[in-house]
């Protein structure tokens, strides 16, 4: 294996975190802002690009960082290395919102997984985190994530995060699955990705499900989330744009009077 071999444990239910166990001189990489806690003896270092073997030269690092910036991601990543001679150490990374952490053994998944651009959480050093351009114009324009998705490559462990409950589907050759574009978390490289127009004026105008499906065709593995962060944010925003009147008119008025709000 070219990537560092790390052990891990996922802890929690709705708000999970992953605890990574590092042997001496082993390193994990993570997105800035995902760090939770670590043992004494682990060195934290901000690095340019992802620290993979594919990005050894300055030009490669600049190119990789530029692609991540184009995808709306941070140009820098954080590396956590066990520099202690006293044995194994642990570092933990927390999920940014309610959902599940998905462990990916890239060695068992064909060495490559394509995911939505905010799904990556952390990985073993050596895993390449880059971008995946959609080859078809229609897929890029209407596929929900634009022209660009994220690409995880290597033979080590990587971790994705997604909202709500996670469904893992293994598609047989030629088997097709239609998914809401925002509900896709990721899929293996052998899965073909396209979009399909829902069709019908009533469906388009009043269906409330958007205009396009994502169409995934096997063989390969697909991960689907029940609660995309965009959907959650939209509901919270809609809830906060109108004034709440309380669950019942009497209790609502009484609560407003106690709080000093006489505008009810």
d(CA 8, CA 25): 16
- pLDDT tens-digit profile of 44-80? 998 876 767 555 566 666 666 666 666 566 678 899 9
Q: What is the mean pLDDT of the chain?
A: 79
The answer to whether residue 258 sits within a structural domain is: no
The answer to whether residue 146 sits within a structural domain is: yes
What token pair was written down for 196? 């399909």
pLDDT computed for residue 29 by the predictor: 94
d(CA 164, CA 98): 6
The answer to whether residue 249 sits within a structural domain is: no
pLDDT at 245 over 60: no
The answer to whether residue 254 sits within a structural domain is: no
Structural domain including 189 reads 7-240
Q: Is the dihedral of CA 209, 210, 212, 215 positive or negative?
A: negative
- pLDDT tens-digit profile of 141-192? 444 544 578 889 999 999 999 999 999 999 999 999 998 888 899 999 999 9
Residues pairing with 237 in the sheet: none
Q: Tell me how long the chain is.
A: 264
pLDDT computed for residue 122 by the predictor: 94
The answer to whether residue 259 sits within a structural domain is: no
Residues pairing with 197 in the sheet: 212
pLDDT at 97 over 80: yes
The answer to whether residue 257 sits within a structural domain is: no
The answer to whether residue 36 sits within a structural domain is: yes
Task: Specify the CATH number for the domain of residue 230.
Answer: 3.60.160.10
The answer to whether residue 262 sits within a structural domain is: no
Tally the domains of the chain.
1
What token pair was written down for 156? 């080590």
d(CA 212, CA 199): 8
Residue 219's pLDDT band (cuts 50, 70, 90):
very high
Exposure letters 187-209 (e unless 16+ CB within 10 A, then b): bbeebebbbeeeeeeeeeeeeee
DSSP secondary structure string for all residues of 218-249: SSEEEEEESS-HHHHHHHHHHHHTS----SSH
- pLDDT tens-digit profile of 110-150? 999 999 878 999 999 989 888 876 655 444 444 454 457 88
């Amino acid at each position: 294996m070219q990537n560092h071999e790390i052990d891990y444990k996922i802890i929690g239910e709705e708000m999970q975190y992953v605890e990574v166990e590092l042997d001496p001189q082993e390193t994990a990489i993570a997105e800035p802002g995902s760090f939770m806690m670590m043992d004494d003896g682990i060195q934290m270092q901000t690095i340019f690009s992802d620290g993979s073997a594919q990005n050894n030269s300055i030009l490669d690092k600049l190119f990789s960082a530029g692609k991540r910036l184009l995808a709306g991601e941070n140009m820098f990543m954080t590396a956590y290395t066990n520099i202690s001679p006293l044995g194994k150490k642990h570092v933990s990374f927390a999920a940014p919102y309610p959902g599940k952490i998905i462990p990916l053994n890239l060695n068992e998944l064909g060495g490559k997984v394509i995911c939505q651009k905010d799904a990556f959480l952390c990985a073993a050093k050596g895993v390449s985190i880059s971008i995946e351009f959609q080859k078809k114009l229609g897929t890029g324009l209407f596929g929900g994530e634009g022209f660009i998705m994220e690409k995880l490559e290597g033979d080590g462990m990587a971790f994705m995060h997604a909202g709500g409950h996670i469904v893992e589907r293994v598609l047989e050759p030629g088997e097709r699955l239609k998914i809401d574009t925002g509900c896709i978390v990721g899929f293996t490289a052998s899965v073909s990705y396209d979009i399909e127009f829902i069709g019908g004026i009533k469906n388009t105008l009043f269906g409330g499900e958007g205009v396009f499906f994502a169409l995934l065709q096997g063989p390969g593995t697909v991960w689907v989330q029940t609660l995309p962060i965009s959907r959650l944010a939209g509901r919270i925003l809609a809830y906060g744009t109108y004034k709440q009147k309380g669950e019942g008119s009497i209790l609502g008025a009484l609560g407003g009077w106690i709080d000093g709000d006489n505008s009810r």
